[in-house]
Structure 1
């Protein structure tokens, strides 16, 4: 009997060793295997346990905003005429047989008088007049002076209509894409977006980009109202594009879901990232092994490790949720674009897989043996 038990025990141990050596399926590397990738061992990654100091350095994210060229540009004067603008003229004359006014009427209207590429307009009997750079009031004075030499006391009104002289193109996730003139109600970015029907995506993740010549700047839509300085003045030829936030992170391992996850807000903490994919898998996850993989720029890496490096470095952040204040550290750790959040399996999960595999294997062996005995007995 004892020899039979010893034989069964030896068989079980042999089966365990065989199954373990074969490599059972798993969701990714173990905690120990990740630590083996450290520069202190056989890898090329810097592995750092997250605390308040690490959070202070690593949570610095690239900020959106406009450069000085955008911020220092003053508001375009709505009364300044530019090439391509369209003017409306009305002329009154005090004689029955006027130069421009038809017989029996006291006024004539000249609609859609466009300023040519050189900045001039043509008015009958007044000739060619430089309009670009002048205000409607100054143009009125010039026309009145020239007509006054030919008809007594003419009265002139000059109106600036919506032309294509100073325009901005607005595209992307807005209510109405199009080309809009810069007028009194649309001289700043927020005013122009309102003219285009507002943003058509969630305001919290709406990103507004302005291109002016060779320069480009971006800002969050909400910042236009939270920070008045971000509401820049527009210039002729500006291109405005509104799009939803394109940032994302990847969740892998023992989480509720393994997928590429878009940012749902401007800032996401490690706790929020885990919650977005259904939290830790309660039957598999190791709360001491939550890792964030990231490529850090040179300047941030040097602050983290206290030594000089060259170029972008691989950094692995370790979040142990079982440590004192571990949840607070995870709550304060900011996830960045292209991060990989990986949760390791608890050690017993792999052990259970080995036992289950061995049990199944031994059961299959027993079934075969019983079948063979049955055949032999027949």
Structure 2
């Protein structure tokens, strides 16, 4: 890190999260007919019109590929990710399914993970906890787009494996683990997963505090003692480092083999930092990081040379914006999160696009 590059310490703006769109299960006919009880939706303020407005225009329901309404309520969505093509992928965890949702709400692709249980060789119903994107198509893809053949990777905590699908929902394969320490390529407690531009997969194992690396062909080749990190398009690993100074955190960069490269930048706060984590990368390759202090939640981005953005602060999301709330970065640098109930979810924009 260049000593002249310092983490910005001035908060430029404070933002109030705003609802963007909602997704509701099972209570609206396919043609959108019939009023909806807007009081049941956390995002009711986003809906235009009076409380008797129907949802036909906004398509707030889950529609399968056959045009049918999916039975069953949303249950425990635990992971969300936005692909660079704009689709939001949602792990409806306790229903063992994955939803692909365009930017205004109606689900286009639904992957029923229970339907591939036999084909994938799974002993239990899948429990999806994280989503990543990769595949051969990344090699030719511009920074801001993905080709039609990118792969969707799903971390399955129930079976301790990683499942892969095409964007149309076709099952492509799985990476299984023996769960035994010492076995080559074995992970015991799968957590987050990452993928780079070459289609290499990085699997974090909380139990062993290691990350295991697999080729695009699903072959294990390396592991290293780095977790709770973010992986950029080139396979470089970015991890938050702690020291005795509770007012600072350092961002260390390692190559795809886990070898240290540099300290990219330092996060500087005016109060003790209570919690910090990398959120992800935008289309310009900037790493977005969030941290909490007693005053609230803060966000900052760092360019590939360590140059920091201004610090942005977000008001807390009512009833549950805490360290377990999933957040993700869009290609334009905006930050989103989700509020979930048993009946549906509402996607919130925490921060607008970063210039």
TM-score, normalised to structure 1, is: 0.19
- Normalized per residue, the structure richer in strand is 2
TM-score, normalised to structure 2, is: 0.20
- Normalized per residue, the structure richer in helix is 1
Answer with 1 or 2: which has the greater Rg: 1
